[in-house]
Amino acid sequence: MDIAFYITAAVTLISTGMVITRHNPVHALLYLVISLLSLAMIFFLLGAAFAALLEIIIYAGAIMVLFIFVIMLLNLGEETAAQEKKWLKTRIWIGPAIMAGVLLFELCYLISSSDAVLYDQPNVGPRPVALALFREYLIGVELAAMLLMAAMVGAAHIGRHKKMVLHRFLKEKEIQ
């Protein structure tokens, strides 16, 4: 099992290093997805299968999609289409694909093997997590709900298309 952990850790570090060094945001996103997948793998190794699932669904799924949407929104027009061609070159997607393949292989192996956990401690399944969440951490849940609500309202407000608005101080500055 150790070897699986080290391989995954290596994949995580490499892909994360690639994220922060890419020039093209979409490339960086591809590597970030790999990074998140490998992290999910580590969670799985640590016996937190539920967290691993959430990681994949919410992070790699929802949040990354948001990023991609925004990047697409910001690159409108023909330029984007030309860029699209460039992105889909093999050279670009081969790296993430290899790493994804490594992770897939690991996953298959781990699922087929009997002892898929690093530690002796019993697995912490979704049930105790849910119990803890809605008993001890109920207030935290409520606060998180409020936070999400506020974030939604805020995002809806900030994201509106507006003309360029300058604060009156900046306006005066410009006039001067």
68 binds other proteins, rule: CB under 8 A:
no
Rounded-to-integer distance, Cα 109 and Cα 115, Å:
11
CA-nearest of 4, 56, 65 to 35 is: 56
Cβ nearer to other proteins, comparing 20 with 175: 20
Q: Is the dihedral of CA 65, 69, 74, 80 positive or negative?
A: positive
Note whether 174 binds other proteins by CB under 8 A.
no
Which of 11, 37, 51, 56 binds other proteins (CB under 8 A)? It is: 51
Q: Is the C-alpha dihedral spanning 142, 66, 151, 19 positive or negative?
A: positive
Q: Which is nearer to other proteins, 90 or 169 (CB)?
A: 169
Q: Tell me: does residue 62 bind other proteins (CB under 8 A).
A: yes
**107 sits near other proteins (criterion: CB under 8 A):** no
Taking residue 24's Cβ as centre, other Cβ atoms within 10 Å add up to 13
What is the rounded distance in angstroms from the CA atom of residue 24 to the CA atom of residue 87? Answer: 9
Taking alpha carbons only, the member of 51, 47, 21 closest to residue 36 is 51
**Contact flag: residue 36 with other proteins (CB under 8 A):** yes
Task: Select 73 or 111, whichever has its Cβ closest to other proteins.
Answer: 73
Cβ neighbourhood burial of 129 (10 Å; 0-12, 13-18, 19+):
middle
Question: What whole-number distance in Å separates Cα of residue 174 and Cα of residue 160?
Answer: 25
Q: Which stretch binds other proteins (CB under 8 A): 84-92, 97-105, 112-120?
A: 112-120
Give yes or no for residue 66 binding other proteins (CB under 8 A). Answer: yes
Residues of this chain that interact with other proteins (CB under 8 A) are 1-2, 5-6, 9, 12-13, 16-17, 19-20, 25, 28-29, 32, 35-36, 39, 42-43, 46-48, 50-51, 54-55, 58-59, 62-63, 66-67, 70-71, 73-74, 115, 117-122, 124, 128-129, 131-133, 137, 140, 144, 147-148, 150-152, 154-156, 158-159, 161-162, 164-165, 170
